[in-house]
A and B are shown apart, each in its own frame.
Chain A
Amino acid sequence: MSEAIKVPTMAEYMAQGKQPEVLFWVGCAGSFDDRAKKITKAFVRILNKTNVDFAVLGTEESCTGDPAKRAGNEFLFQMQAMTNIEVLNGYEVKKIVTACPHCFNTLKNEYPELGGNYDVMHHTQFLKSLMEEGRLKVEGGKFKGKRITFHDPCYLGRANGEYEAPRELLEKLEVELVEMKRCKTRGLCCGAGGAQMFKEPEKGDKDINIERTEEALETQPGIIAAGCPFCNTMLTDGVKGKNKENDVEVMDVAEMIANAEDL
């Protein structure tokens, strides 16, 4: 890490009478989960490097309400949503980027009816747009030729039809992308969605993350690439469960780009 990261807040921007280009919605996992925090920082390093004018809400950010809604607590979800919308609208936010597909889906699809209308992007979509604008140069670096499989997050893929953005970034890294049998529209869930992350699974023959990890390992990857902090946790646990943590790494696409550039 060459230098300290710069993470301005919306409050600081407001004090200076400025408006950032984009708000980075960090999300609960990105803020508190040790593994996900690394993804957050990797993404910030890319934003710093490419001089993206961004800000975060910091302590003014709160859970989008996604896990509450999927668990069936519509009341708590809407309380969270409307509180967040008040903050976001107070700052006149227009564009949001987030590294969490669950936050992405909720902000993009479920907030508009409640008064929150923003242009919401998943970080892989945002990075792709930076690349297309020529602001971000993605080159193979240390991942060139490496065997990598990509796990589609349900809330990015099936829920919102985005399968290509993360794959295009991986292609730019010149990796050898090998698809699992169940990928894209048929991608198997990691097991964390629908608030499962926060409870023990129901009784069955196998845990879902093990089933998915086994499928990923069948492709004999050096790295399992993900685009969601929860998928990352589930697959990391799965890889550990299979005693493969020394051979196979689970990495977010943003981390791979940051690492390729040695950021």
Chain B
Amino acid sequence: MNYIPNILFLTALFIAIGFFIQNVGKLRRNIALGKDVDVSGNKKERFNNMMMIAFGQSKMIKRPIAGFLHVIVYLGFIIINIEVLEIIIDGLFGTHRSFSIFGGFYDFLIASFEILAILVIISVILFWTRRNVQKIRRFLNPEMKGWPKNDANIILYIELVLMVLFLTMNAADYHLQQAEVASYTQAGSFPVSQFIAPFFDGMESSSVILIERIAWWLHILGILFFLNYLYYSKHLHILLAFPNTYFGKVTPKGKFPNNKTVTSEVKLMMDPNADPFAAPAPSEENQVPEKFGASDVTDLNWVQLLNAYTCTECGRCTSECPASQTGKKLSPRKIMMDTRDRLEDIGKNIDKNGSFVDDGKQLLDDYITREELWACTTCNACVEACPVSIDPLSIIMDMRQYLVMEQSAAPNELNISMTNIENNGAPWPYNQMDRLNWKNE
């Protein structure tokens, strides 16, 4: 027997999966550059969030048109993966439709793959139209120019080609089954591709076999290519949406974390028994004091970095953001894209130099401007809008904290109101002793 196809297949599979694993390693390393954060509690709630929001797509359908189309492509992705498993087995062992041992259930499976495939083709075409023909505002923001726009279209083209190859492969297979060509045993039912099959009528069986083989190989090689494209693309969300919704915020959206270092300092200040002249403990003497807030991605926590890799740039956050809607520079999506871009630059720097070598850049100013940060109203519209539990607001807040606590660089009016709070307990210059005057007015 001829084992060359099996060996070629195994090699392709080995290279593709090996390369993918290598990139997953980089992804993990980059995310681990973030600070530690406690996400151990609320396991049940977290699991439920993941099942509802990621698996169940509960937030996608808040926008019915995009949501509906997305659910189709998502179901296609999940279900057609069963077919990929069969293709891998066939490829490794040289079998023809190995899952046909399931009999009638196999017919049902193939039929549903075919119907999903045609629905995915329709959805992908509509998605492409939405992005390239219709003037949908959230796809036209400045941050979507260049690679982000191309990336989105490339994903749609790959999906389209994969589905067309899948149906071509089935149509040719169906034709050969009907023609009772040896080794093409009757298996599966083909509600869609049976309408493509007549195209092969009158062709030599050998030509149809060639077409079937080419479609089969291009389909699986395309899938392996797509798997490896993920790491370089916004399309990573198909994997990361699951952990991201699991690790997403489980406290009320209005609750911002209290900085623990500040707590101990304030407690010390308010402790009447604390010795203000005490020398620091010997263990603390050479410690660099903790930096407040974030000026670069390594100051963020790892969940925020996971957020950045999960973002698929749909822009629902930006289209709900009051600042963005009124023409300010702030776009929550850009905050996430900048965070990822910076993190990837640091990752490449590490790949090149073994460890990070200062490149004279940071997330603040080189990627995200102060004007963007100060335009935020902390209204949580972006957090609410995100279909995969990304929290752009937390990054904005951490960066504001850096600006104020490390650089004293708040806008002047804010400095005045903060001084007022400090001196008289209100953001305006009123005397605290007048706080109850309203009673008699």
A186 adjacent to B266 (CB under 8 Å) = no
B265 adjacent to A154 (CB under 8 Å) = no
Question: Measured between C-beta atoms, what is the minimum distance from A81 to chain B in Å?
Answer: 8
Encoded as 1 (CB less than 8 Å from any A CB) or 0, chain B from 421 to 441 comes to 110011110101111111101
A110 adjacent to B405 (CB under 8 Å) = no
Does B275 touch A at the CB level, under 8 Å? no
Stretch among B29-37, B133-141, B147-155, B374-382 lining the A interface: B374-382
Encoded as 1 (CB less than 8 Å from any A CB) or 0, chain B from 398 to 411 comes to 00111111000011
Does A158 touch B at the CB level, under 8 Å? yes
Cβ 8 A contact of A199, one of B262, B329, B374: B374
Does A117 touch B at the CB level, under 8 Å? no
Question: Measured between C-beta atoms, what is the minimum distance from A32 to chain B in Å?
Answer: 5
Does B323 touch A at the CB level, under 8 Å? yes
Does A159 touch B at the CB level, under 8 Å? yes
State A41–B440 Cα separation when bound (angstroms): 10
Chain B interface helix/strand/loop/mixed: helix
B426 adjacent to A202 (CB under 8 Å) = no
B375 adjacent to A201 (CB under 8 Å) = yes
Task: Tally B residues with Cβ within 8 Å of A.
Answer: 68
For residue A159, which residue of chain B has the nearest CB? B254
Question: Measured between C-beta atoms, what is the minimum distance from A234 to chain B in Å?
Answer: 10
Residues of the A chain whose Cβ atoms lie less than 8 Å from the Cβ of B323 = 202, 204, 208
Residues of the A chain whose Cβ atoms lie less than 8 Å from the Cβ of B427 = 28, 63, 67, 197-198
Does B256 touch A at the CB level, under 8 Å? yes
A158 adjacent to B428 (CB under 8 Å) = no
B422 adjacent to A194 (CB under 8 Å) = no
B425 adjacent to A205 (CB under 8 Å) = no
Encoded as 1 (CB less than 8 Å from any B CB) or 0, chain A from 32 to 76 comes to 110001001100000000000000101101110101111111111
B433 adjacent to A59 (CB under 8 Å) = yes
State A202–B370 Cα separation when bound (angstroms): 10
Residues of the A chain whose Cβ atoms lie less than 8 Å from the Cβ of B438 = 26, 30-31, 37, 40-41
Does B293 touch A at the CB level, under 8 Å? yes
Whether A185 touches B384, Cβ cut-off 8 Å, given contacts A31-B436, A199-B411, is yes
Whether A110 touches B414, Cβ cut-off 8 Å, given contacts A7-B439, A211-B322, is no
Residues of the A chain whose Cβ atoms lie less than 8 Å from the Cβ of B329 = 202-204
Task: Give the residues from 256 to 294 in chain B that come closer than 8 angstroms, CB to CB, to chain A.
Answer: 256, 258-259, 262-263, 265-267, 269-270, 292-293
A58 adjacent to B436 (CB under 8 Å) = yes
Cβ 8 A contact of B418, one of A68, A109, A188: A68
Q: List 11 A-B contacts (CB under 8 A).
A: A37-B438, A59-B436, A67-B427, A73-B405, A73-B418, A110-B258, A114-B258, A158-B383, A196-B377, A208-B323, A208-B325
Known: A30-B438, A203-B328. 4 other contacts (CB 8 A): A31-B438, A113-B258, A189-B322, A212-B322
